[in-house]
Amino acid sequence: MTGRLRTALQAATLLALASSAISGAGGSDPDRGSWLQARLAGAAAGDVIEVPPGTYTGPFTIERPVTLRGGGRATLVGDGRTHVVAVRGPDVTIDGFAIRGSGLDLSQDHAAVHVTGARVVVAHNRITESLHGVYVRHADGARIIGNVIVGRSEVLEPVDPLRNGLEPGAGELCAVPLNQNRRGNGVHIWNSSGHVIAGNTIRDTRDGIYLSFVDGSEVRDNDIQHVRYGLHYMYSDRNRFERNLFTDNAAGAALMFSKGLTLAANRFVANRSHRAYGLLLQSVDDTTIADNEIAGNTLGLFMEGGHGNRVLRNRVAGNHIGIRVSDSSDENVFTGNRFAGNVHPVETSGVNGSNRWALDGRGNEWDDASRLDLDGDGIADLPHRELDLFGDLRRPFPAIGLLAGSPGERLLRFVYARIAIPGIPGVVDPAPLVTGGAR
């Protein structure tokens, strides 16, 4: 018998013995859970634990660097009072499980997977019925890859038979909607660096991905819908966000008090409500926002207190307000962007004199800009002035929005685009692009 065949037979025998052990006494969930807890407690560093199909009742704690594989057919269930899986050791991998049933105490940061060990991998799991999905606390180098995380949108609460019209004995608990502010986040990372969050699908949590004091990380190829903020981000520098989809949220992304970021090829689409944003930047500096789609939002891009940012080649289309730039933002550059079909392309406050709407002789493409281009270089021969006729009046007087698109407003836009009118706010693009020049 060859060495390779002998090893394969030994592995098969061990797996059969494990399956037999955890199926004893009828294979109940507590028996399975006890087997897995004992296996984790006795594991050596570097062990790979193949978990057979079935449901395993925890909670579970992992303190050694091991790999836990569920193959997509094993379920880890918490007790509803704490984390389902608490990862306390480094270099742990949790791959291919259904995970559900954490506690719901926000003050305790309950999570399906709660991580305080470095370089942990959480991959290809389906996480449901939990507070936070994956919570990483003061631990570097996490890789959160290819998970499906669905937040808990209902809870069971006691029923008042008289108030609810139920007959005595009709039931003691009833499923009621869980307020979004009482939910946890899909992925929550605090005070650490060097993470990769990629390819996850997140639905119905409070925030999709929450990063605070997190540096040098990548967030890419995630699909986040039906949350408060798709990406909620504070006090975190030098991170990259690429090819993510943020749609149907209160805000696609809210980035605050950070610098040195790159946002490239993301889609901020259809984030709509009374105060919804595609992309909100508050006190964000030295950041590149390039090749994104910002479309169909209440307010496409909001920038306040931003300095030295570069807004390049984005498609800003079909928003109620395309871009709002406050007078507290300066030295920002806007070039190569396509503004199309926005009710109000630009909203300003103050003069914004230090912001530039062209770079190296190339501005942006506007719906109402002159198409006169005698030398055929793709740049219009006349500058474009984008009118902000109503400005801050829209908020105290919402009815003024009824004038948007009226013949009078269109006439003023046409005139202002070609002749500067003192006292009317707006922006000046000295080198507007003709159709197709923004690409």
pLDDT at 376 over 90: no
With CA atoms as reference, report the closest residue to 150 among 116, 176, 178: 178
Short-list 344, 425, 332, CA closest to 385: 425
What percentage of residues in the chain have a pLDDT greater than 90? 67
Residue 280: pLDDT over 90: yes
Q: If phi over 0 gives left and psi between -120 and 50 gives alpha, with beta otherwise, what is residue 213?
A: left
Compute the CA torsion angle 303, 305, 310, 312 (nearest 10 deg): 10
Structure tokens belonging to residue 291: 């090749």
**Average pLDDT value for residue range 249-258:** 96
Residue indicated by tokens 């990548």: 218
Domain coordinates of the chain in residue numbers? 261-439
Percent of the chain having pLDDT more than 70? Answer: 78
Quote the pLDDT of residue 12: 46
DSSP E strand stretches across 305-366: 310-312, 315-317, 321-325, 333-335, 338-340, 344-348
pLDDT score of 24: 38
Q: Band of the pLDDT at 370, cuts 50, 70, 90?
A: confident
Position with higher pLDDT, 188 vs 7 = 188
Highest mean pLDDT range out of 240-244, 272-276, 413-417? Answer: 240-244
Least confident of 166-175, 319-328, 410-419: 166-175
Contact partners, residue 377, CB within 8 Å, separation at least 6: none
pLDDT in tens, 64-91: 999 999 999 999 999 999 999 999 999 9
CA–CA separation, 140 and 186 (whole Å): 18
Largest CA distance in the chain: 93
Residues 194-224 have pLDDT tens digits of: 999 999 999 999 999 999 999 999 999 999 9
Residue with tokens 């219009």: 380
Strands 223-225 and 201-203, bridge-based pairing = parallel
Task: Evaluate whether 296 touches 274 at the Cβ level (below 8 Å).
Answer: no
State mean pLDDT over 411-421.
65
Q: Pairing relation of β-strands 426-429 and 384-387?
A: antiparallel
Q: What is the residue-wise DSSP string for 350-389?
A: S--TT-BS-BTTB--B-TTS----TT-SSB-SS-EEEE-S
Angstrom distance (rounded) from CA 217 to CA 33: 35
Q: Which two tokens stand for residue 255?
A: 């980035």
Global pTM reads 0.85
pLDDT tens digits, residue range 28-46? 677 899 999 999 999 999 9
Run of H or E including 134: strand 132-137
171/176 Cα distance (integer angstroms): 14
